[in-house]
Structure 1
Amino acid sequence: MAEIVQQRIEDRIPELEQLERVGLFTKKEVKATALEYKLHRLIVNKEDFIAYIQYEINVLELIKKRRAHIHYHFKREEIEFPIIHRITSLFRRATKKWKDDVQLWFSHVAFCKKWGTKMAISKVFSSMLAIHPDKPALWIMAAKSELEDRDSSESARHLFLRALRFHPNNKKVYQEYFRMELLHCEKLRQQKEQLEKAEMDLGEYEFSPEILSGKLAEVVYRDAVGKIKAGFVISLLNIATIFDFTKELQDLILNDLQTNYTEDSVTWDFMAKRELDAPGAGDELPTAKGRASDINRREERCCQVYEEGVKSLNTEPMWTCYVAFCLERLKRKTNVQELKDKRQERLLTVMQRAHDSSLLKESYYKNWLEILLLSGDAEGAARVAMTATQRYSQSVSVWSLSLQTLMQLGSGDIGRLFQDALTHVNPKVHTHTSSVICVVNSYMKHITDGLYSLVSSQRSLLSPVSAVAMEMKEKYLDWSFSTGGYKKARKTFMSLQENRPLSKAFFTRMIGIEKKQVMCIKHLPETTKKFFLFLHLIKATSSAENETEDQ
């Protein structure tokens, strides 16, 4: 090993002598012996390679700074090039040993971009793709590098075609391939325009009319649409709209959307939103009211398209697109109250129709209730809260939302709704067993004695679901102590401890209540002492029973 290290160090002597001769470094400034030894141990770490590479890069950076400081810009072939070659060799050895480390490959690419040659980048990507052909992002990066760094559209196209062999249904690969062809087309058009301005003969240059009009991108589009759905087609259309020479291609894609993808809600959503950008007076109108009126007309045209969509495609995704559009427009700020009122009325109408069709998405009930409460429609909010639980009777979040709404309104139906929640929601299925109960407990300070008695009736306290029964007993005990003091808490405890199941926390809380009454157990009356010991006995017995059941 020592011979190899010594040989590598001696190979650097001409380079070091040159650095000293031109005044960039001194003799004591360059020491690589320790790093070389690390790379030739029996067990080599990746960190050793990275440290050596970083050391060499730091040397390059220092040379660059000192060149600028002393204004010396000669002998690069004898100074920088050997270091760059050595770093490239280190990267090659490291990536050969740790092939799966993609970040190491990226570091090599980044180094080549800054210090290497364009051909070196291509070689690195080629080696990386031979090992990682299953990663579409790497193919895209390699193709972009060919197009941007080497200005080679042919090589980029070749890489995209190879990528599609490995990933024939990958949307991102198709999108970037499509974009690349349009960028290439735009570049050719700019070159032709510059040559024409310079009045040069175009005979020796080949500018195919088909390529200049974006036919290659159209070929990519036709190949893609046979495999991927409407949302992807729209993404290609959005890319095409960036370029000002793709009108024919855009018309082709739009026609395909309207002909072949009407069974997809994404198509209707896209076509409806296009009406917002349709030609009109827009910002040219002098008054805020005039602009608001123009915006309202555009939104009405959007809604007409959505209406056609729900007639043709009466599905939850279609109604979701319609509601999402109306909700997004309502959230937009406007100083014109009339426009805001129309947007709110439109949204409430669409939500009601979607609900009547049993196609309103669960998450939109929250938005619906918020709007009704803000507008002061308490009756409507209560009605929606109750009907939402009928639509999604197994949803914990819907029951919680409905309970919160009725509490906020001070409704007398809260007790009945809570009992219905315990009946319909199966805690064995839903992981958030206690969320419905916690909603009630969070509002406990606002609940009257009578209402709490209703909420904590025998149905919940004796629920067959252990989690519900145990938690309600704990909360009932807490409530008894906070409203009636120690005596009421003891009475509640004595009545509940006969009914299993009981949690450890139930006994712990009662013990805590007893401890609050006195500072020391020896000063307690005899009856209280017995009761205190009784609590410990029950707690121990309950724990033993639970352990037996677990076994």
Structure 2
Amino acid sequence: MAEYVQRRKEDMIVEINLLEILFKKSIVKRIVHQREKFEYRMMRRNKQKSDFTQYIVFLKSVMKKIQKLGLENAESLKLIEQHISRINTIYRTALKYFKDDISLWKEYIKFLVKAKRFRLLQYAIDSALLLHGHISDEIYVFAIRQEFLDLKNIQKARELYTTGLRLHKKSSSLYLEAFDIELTYSEILTQTVIKKKQVYKPDDPALNGSIAKAIFLSAIDNVANDFSLFFKMYQKTKDYNFASYLNEEIRNFLQTNFSSDPIYWNTIANNELNHPKRPEKLRIKNCLDKYDEALSIVDTDEMWNLYLNTLLQITSDTNKTEAYKRNLLRHSMFNAHAKNRLKPIHYVQWVNKSKSSITNEILEWALEKYPNDPSILEVKIKNLVESDKFGAYEIFKQHMNLMSVNVWLLITEKIIEEPQAKEIFEIVFSDISECDEEVKKKLGSSYLYWLSRNNSLECTRNAFQKLIMSTGRDSSLCNTIIKIETEQEKMDIHKIRQHFIIACMQFGKTDKELWMDRILFELKYGSPKTVSNVYHEALTTLNNEESDEFVELYTKKILNYNK
């Protein structure tokens, strides 16, 4: 193994000389060191795919650095050529060991296309098809595209899609690729006829899209239920004047076979909405007209849901746009509400997009239909809490088992100075509490502050000791109790050290900031003599990565502290 790597290193001598012309020696040294590591990994007995792909990614990154210099000299071009050659070799070596990996073949083919290695590309495509063509239509799609777009070989592309469709009769992606290249090729031939001022023959199968039509008819025989495929075919024919008859035929097929499918109507409506050449108001009108037509034919929850989602998307900027959008939203949503078609998410979004003067009415309608829906209750509480925090608290108390952590935090913040705060903290932190652990974690610091103001310091300390030893807590509780302790008229250094020791026992393996806070406390309030001991304790307790980061953090903080 070492001999192979040494040989590879010797082969790199020319590259190293060229790299040193373009980069600093320190950068070249890092590149060579990294390449040596990758060469060793590729020679391991138990090879991993990542041993090869990570090396390739690294070499590509070096190539980008060379290209970023923007130099067109011989050295740069030669280096890039050498890197391309090495990457090609690594891909081919990797595929000897991982020939069953389709994604690796695709990556290799893409690389060859980008590097313009067309002779190798042909070989790679043939090899990939031989190995995977019978099980993967993806490889065929990929190969057809490369043959037609990059190698300009329509005959080979046709052979490929013919073979591919014989093996994968149900492959919509293959049908679409074949359809697309035949339309494109007919357009190329048509433009050639026009340029050469030859007679255009509209009945010529090569010019009028007849081959594309044959593919469309074959798709009907094999994948007739794939609306997405036929709609894409319909869209593609719009781009070609010679295919107008085919566009009409596909449109009729869609209407006949998919008029009861909500996805069909949703796609048609959104197609109107995204029309590139029409003004916004007309696009919105045409889109909603399609939905109205759809709902008269397919009056289902799914159809209503698609319609409402699009409506909410259209009015997403309703607070800063024309009044017609606000009126459209109000009228359409009320109509859907009257027909009992709104889901909780629709009510919530309606409230968020409406003026405050009507939000209460919308929320009343929503709660009438969904009295226990958490999302609606949350919006209700948030809307009410500023004007009537006690009313919001009563709603919260009746449904607290449904409330998110954010609502718990909001309500606690609003009533922290009120008698109800005691009730909340007893619910959350009593010995028999069944409250969610995440709520306890988020409210822990607020609870300690509340205790320090409404009870004794000793009681606050006891609560900290209990909370810090519970599962799911973090070191923020330590920060809170330290702040409370340091705000006392007479600071108890011994107690604060105990708090730090307990917290470091719990979180000392990963929390470098905690150790740093402990050191800064000793420097500011305690005994600087203890800093050395705490520092070494941190290094031995923290995990390896965190320990290295702690050394950097310590150096930076101490420098700032001593300024």
**1:389-404 alignment, distance < 5 Å:** 396-404=374-382
- Contact 1:240–1:246 at 8 Å: present in 2 too? yes
Query: Within 1, Cα distance between the matches of 2:96 and 2:437?
Result: 63
Q: Give aligned-pair identity as a percent.
A: 19
What is the one-letter code of the residue matched to 2:409?
A: N
Gaps of 5+ in 2: 2-35, 78-83, 503-563
Q: What residue in structure 2 maps to residue 376 of structure 1?
A: 356
TM-score (norm 2): 0.59
Q: What residue in structure 2 maps to residue 230 of structure 1?
A: 227
Name which one, 1 or 2, has greater alpha-carbon Rg. 1
Matched, 1:220 2:215: yes
SS at match of 1:140: helix
* CA apart distance, 1:459: 7.2
What is the one-letter code of the residue matched to 2:236?
A: I
Matched, 1:406 2:387: no
SS at match of 2:399: helix
Q: What residue in structure 2 maps to residue 432 of structure 1?
A: none
Query: Within 1, Cα distance between the matches of 2:366 and 2:457?
Result: 37
* CA apart distance, 1:143: 0.5
SS at match of 1:467: coil
Paired residues in the alignment total 430
- Contact 2:428–2:434 at 8 Å: present in 1 too? no
* CA apart distance, 1:243: 2.1
* CA apart distance, 1:467: 2.7
Q: What residue in structure 1 maps to residue 180 of structure 2?
A: 179
- Contact 2:333–2:350 at 8 Å: present in 1 too? yes
What is the one-letter code of the residue matched to 1:223?
A: S
* CA apart distance, 1:258: 2.1
Query: Within 1, Cα distance between the matches of 2:228 and 2:325?
Result: 27
SS at match of 1:213: coil
**1:125-164 alignment, distance < 5 Å:** 125-133=125-133, 134-164=135-165
SS at match of 1:246: helix
* CA apart distance, 1:174: 2.8
Deviation sequence 1:141-168 (CA, Å, 0-9, x none): 2101211233322321232233345544
Gaps of 5+ in 1: 2-33, 70-83, 284-294, 426-434, 525-531, 537-551
Alpha-carbon spacing, 1:139–1:459, altered in 2? closer, same or farther (3 Å): same
Q: What residue in structure 1 maps to residue 257 of structure 2?
A: 260
Q: What residue in structure 2 maps to residue 240 of structure 1?
A: 237
Deviation sequence 1:82-104 (CA, Å, 0-9, x none): xx999988865653344145446
Query: Within 1, Cα distance between the matches of 2:410 and 2:273?
Result: 44
Query: Within 1, Cα distance between the matches of 2:300 and 2:414?
Result: 41
What is the one-letter code of the residue matched to 2:219?
A: A
Q: What residue in structure 2 maps to residue 429 of structure 1?
A: none
- Contact 2:209–2:243 at 8 Å: present in 1 too? yes
Query: Within 1, Cα distance between the matches of 2:432 and 2:204?
Result: 78
What is the one-letter code of the residue matched to 1:438?
A: N
CA RMSD of aligned residues (A): 5.5
Question: Aligned match of 2:297 in 286, 309, 312?
Answer: 312
Q: What residue in structure 2 maps to residue 360 of structure 1?
A: 342
Q: What residue in structure 1 maps to residue 20 of structure 2?
A: none
Question: Aligned match of 2:393 in 415, 436, 451?
Answer: 415
**1:501-540 alignment, distance < 5 Å:** 517=488, 519=490
What is the one-letter code of the residue matched to 1:242?
A: D
* CA apart distance, 1:298: 5.6
Query: Within 2, Cα distance between the matches of 1:144 and 1:215?
Result: 20
- Contact 2:182–2:209 at 8 Å: present in 1 too? yes
- Contact 1:218–1:249 at 8 Å: present in 2 too? yes
Alpha-carbon spacing, 1:236–1:362, altered in 2? closer, same or farther (3 Å): farther
Query: Within 1, Cα distance between the matches of 2:152 and 2:411?
Result: 67
Query: Within 2, Cα distance between the matches of 1:279 and 1:475?
Result: 51
Query: Within 2, Cα distance between the matches of 1:350 and 1:515?
Result: 59
Deviates more, 1:298-307 or 1:237-246: 298-307
Deviation sequence 1:94-140 (CA, Å, 0-9, x none): 5334414544664466447756555x432320101222334443322
Alpha-carbon spacing, 1:362–1:90, altered in 2? closer, same or farther (3 Å): same
What is the one-letter code of the residue matched to 1:456?
A: I
* CA apart distance, 1:227: 4.0
Q: What residue in structure 1 maps to residue 509 of structure 2?
A: none
Matched, 1:329 2:308: no
* CA apart distance, 1:255: 1.6
What is the one-letter code of the residue matched to 1:216?
A: I
Matched, 1:467 2:468: no
Alpha-carbon spacing, 1:153–1:305, altered in 2? closer, same or farther (3 Å): same
What is the one-letter code of the residue matched to 1:446?
A: K
* CA apart distance, 1:171: 3.6
Q: What residue in structure 2 maps to residue 122 of structure 1?
A: 122
